[in-house]
Structure 1
Amino acid sequence: MSKAFASQADLEEKQVSFTKLSDNAYAYTAEGDPNTGVIIGDDAVMVLDTQATPVMAQDVIRRIREVTDKPIKYVLMTHYHAVRVLGASAYGADHIIASQDTRDLIVERGEQDKASEIGRFPRLFRNVESVPAGLTWPTITFTGKMTLWLGSLEVQLLQLGRGHTKGDTVAWLPQQKILFSGDLVEFDATPYAGDAYFKDWPQTLDNLAALKPEKLVPGRGAALTTPEAVQQGLAGTRDFIADVWRQVQAGVAAGHDLNTVYKNTYAALQPKYGHWVIFDHCMPFDVTRCYDEATQHPDPRIWTAERDTQMWKTLEG
């Protein structure tokens, strides 16, 4: 293969930041690696996305303990991807919360996704042997909206539409106008869209924007701490998804095969987005899923480790 598969060549350690957004909200970010959100209420802590392994989660816990000794009672899975959920056991939370759609996806494809992601991202699964056997399962599920009160702090868990996956959940602090978007929004990082709904995602982003968040923690990239930065993050993600969809649709309409569509789409988007983190990693997955949606697969097909490598060989070999 002309390029190392996915992110297997990505071995450089990233600088971690723990950014305070308010007395109740923090963002654990690492230069485009998967983010973790932290909400501190009057009596308990909620962690949003867990890191990929329990060993990696220990660094999040260490930073939480620098600012509070309140118990970590809740973990929110914004979606089902292994890199977001396999560290959950480290927190010892009373409850793991997810949308019912996310639980359905774990039932349908959790094992295959786990094997697929570990193969793609070895650096992000450091100490993978620390992951307990089996999958991370929610203990509470909801559909549409769920409200938690951490003492006097209102935390709304919302499904605002399909995008990154069909189960995407955001956490919203209405009193402070702070939004934790999961991978529905990225900042200076390429959206992974291998399990996405390209037609729905722009409207879902509009639904996020309608909340008028003043601060936002994206799935990847730096915490956005002003309304202007939030708008930039929303617009950048929306533009990328729209640009991929437009390019792929044009290729399908012209009768081109996936390989040709991929090469043309990569060439068209590279000047604008090529500097974003994991651009080369995401593009084969993103274009393959987009081509599927534009042709004959309205719902994402399951990625397996075997399908991953075959796809990469076809597009990048």
Structure 2
Amino acid sequence: MTLMARWRRTLALVTAAAALAVSAQAQEAPVMQARQASPSTWFVEGLSALGSPQNQNFISNAGFVVTPAGVVVIDALGSPALARRLLEQIRRVTDKPVTHVIVTHYHADHIYGLQAFQAAGARIIAHQAAREYLHSDTAALRLEASRKELAPWVDAQTRLVTADEWLDGPKELVVGGVTLQIRPVGPSHTPEDLVVYLPAEKVLFAGDLVFRGRIPFVGQADSRRWILALEQLLAYDAQVIVPGHGPLSQQARADMQLTRDYLVYLRKVMGEAAKNMEPWEGAYQAADWSAFEHLPLFRVANRMNAYNTYLLMEREGQ
């Protein structure tokens, strides 16, 4: 199959998935309510859906840690309007200023709100591996498309925001005497994945390495290293996990296992098909998806995930 034919197939899958998701969207703006995860940590939970004007692109989670000297936010949500709503939620909890925003990865649903936090004076921290994407044609085209698909919530004033501090390794961030451990775990879901751990309260902000109770979005991820990264996360003595998508988790191993099992199965069935040079469609139809087809977003994401994994396994086998 030629590169152009693969691109057309991927575009067709994306278009079909978007149509399924949009048809299921509610017409009212989604409710945002900060919920407490531990004495010092809070989070807001996005919808289990693809972004649309109806949900304002509120499809991912964000968290924040309240310290005596200020607030540290983890991820900025998918539009400036959502970020401003998150700031309002923070104001209901504390009058301390937002001092930092830590970006777990540079996907649109986690970063389009950054400019609102930058305007509020927050210092933005991210992994330096995001620089390549941030200055790429892919990022520019993604934003251009979002300005049309997610208007008016993402518009001509919405822009990509660079970090004030680019990390190339682990960092201990101490604010008001509270220590946050920032750890690189990529490349896995993205090249720039970061997780944030609050050891005093055993809370882990896992970004999109963990999709709780739903099918993950695999995209161009390195699924082999994603599986290894999940093993790293299990080494933390976390009692609470704030995932990138889905409800709060207090069963770390069980909830990570779902994402891991799905990735392992994708690699197994698509890897065998690629090795045997079987056509992708036939391999997809022959696979047994019964362990996952009941999960939210299966119909939206699974075909794309399987196709991208098939291409990945082809490359790995070369």
* TMscore range, shorter length: 0.7 to 0.9
User: Which residue is equivalent to 1:261?
Assistant: 283
Q: How far, CA to CA, are the matches of 1:8 and 1:277 in structure 2? A: 14
Out of 110, 115, 125, the position equivalent to 1:97 is 125
Question: Are 1:88 and 2:126 counterparts?
Answer: no
Are the counterparts in 1 of residues 171 and 182 from structure 2 also a CA contact under 8 Å? yes
Which string of whole-angstrom CA distances, capped at 9 and with x for unpartnered residues, describes residues 103-147 of structure 1?
Answer: 22222332133346677xx56x76112x63541211111012111
Whole-Å Cα distance in 2 between the matches of residues 16 and 264 of structure 1?
A: 41
1:219 is paired with a residue whose SS is strand
Q: How far apart in 1 are the matches of 2:96 and 2:240?
A: 24
Please say if residues 15 and 31 of structure 1, whose CA atoms lie closer than 8 Å, have aligned partners that are also in contact.
no
Secondary structure at 2:135's aligned position in 1?
A: helix
Give me the whole-angstrom Cα distance separating, in 1, the residues matched to 2:272 and 2:72. Answer: 44
Partners in 2 of 1:190 and 1:116 — Cα distance? Answer: 24
Are positions 1:197 and 2:247 aligned together?
Answer: no
Task: Report what 2:142 is aligned to.
Answer: 113
Which runs of 5 or more residues in structure 2 are unaligned? 1-11, 49-58
Report the residue type matching 1:97 in the other structure.
I
The alpha carbon displacement at 1:255 in A equals 1.7
Letter in structure 2 aligned against 1:72: V
Partners in 2 of 1:31 and 1:133 — Cα distance?
A: 21
The SS at the match of 1:192 is coil
Q: 1:94 to 1:78 in 2, by over 3 A?
A: same
Deviations 1:1-50 (A, max 9, x none): 89844233242255544221223211111343310111112211121111
TM-score (norm 2): 0.83
Counterparts of 2:246 and 2:158, CA distance in 1: 30
Query: Which deviates further from its counterpart, 16-25 or 93-102?
Result: 16-25
Q: Which SS does the other structure have where 2:78 is aligned?
A: coil
The 3 A distance-change label for structure 1 pair 132 and 156 is farther
- Which stretch of the first structure deviates more once superposed, 199-208 or 289-298? 289-298
Question: Residue 287 in 1 paired to residue 306 in 2?
Answer: yes
Find the residue that maps to 2:42 and give its secondary structure: strand
> Which amino acid in 2 is paired with 1:196?
A
CA contact (8 A) 2:115 2:159 kept: no
1:36-67 Cα offsets, whole Å, 9 max, x none, are: 11111221112111111111222212211111
- Distance in 2 between the 1:169 and 1:251 partners? 32
User: Which residue is 2:45 aligned to?
Assistant: 29
Tell me which residue corresponds to 2:9.
Answer: none
Q: Deviations over 1:55-109 (max 9, x none)?
A: 1222212211111011112111111111110111122243111101122222233
State the partner residue of 1:249. 271
User: What 5-or-longer segments of structure 1 have no aligned partner?
Assistant: 299-317
Greater relative contact order (Cα < 8 A, sep 6+): 1
Tell me whether 1:9 sits opposite 2:23 in the alignment. Answer: yes
In structure 1, distance between residues paired with 2:215 and 2:146: 16
Q: Distance in 1 between matches of 2:65 and 2:175?
A: 9
Return the alpha-carbon distance in structure 2 between the equivalents of residues 295 and 116 of structure 1: 29
User: 1-side partners of 2:31 and 2:158: how far apart?
Assistant: 30
Query: What's the RMSD between the two structures over aligned residues?
Result: 2.3
**Identity over aligned pairs, percent:** 24
Whole-angstrom CA distance in 2 between matches of 1:259 and 1:53: 36
Give yes or no for contact 1:194–1:288 (8 Å, CA) kept in 2.
no
- Tell me the distance in 2 between the aligned counterparts of 1:105 and 1:238: 26
2:131 is paired with a residue whose SS is helix
Which residue of the partner structure matches residue 20 of structure 1?
36
Q: 1: CA distance between counterparts of 2:96 and 2:112?
A: 23
Q: Which amino acid aligns with 1:152?
A: G
The equivalent residue for 1:40 is 66
Which residue number corresponds to residue 7 of structure 2? none
CA, structure 1 residues 146+162, in 2 after alignment: closer, same or farther (shift >3 Å)? same
Q: Say yes or no: does 1:176 pair with 2:204.
A: no
Paired position in structure 2 for 1:314: none
Counterpart of 1:151?
A: 176
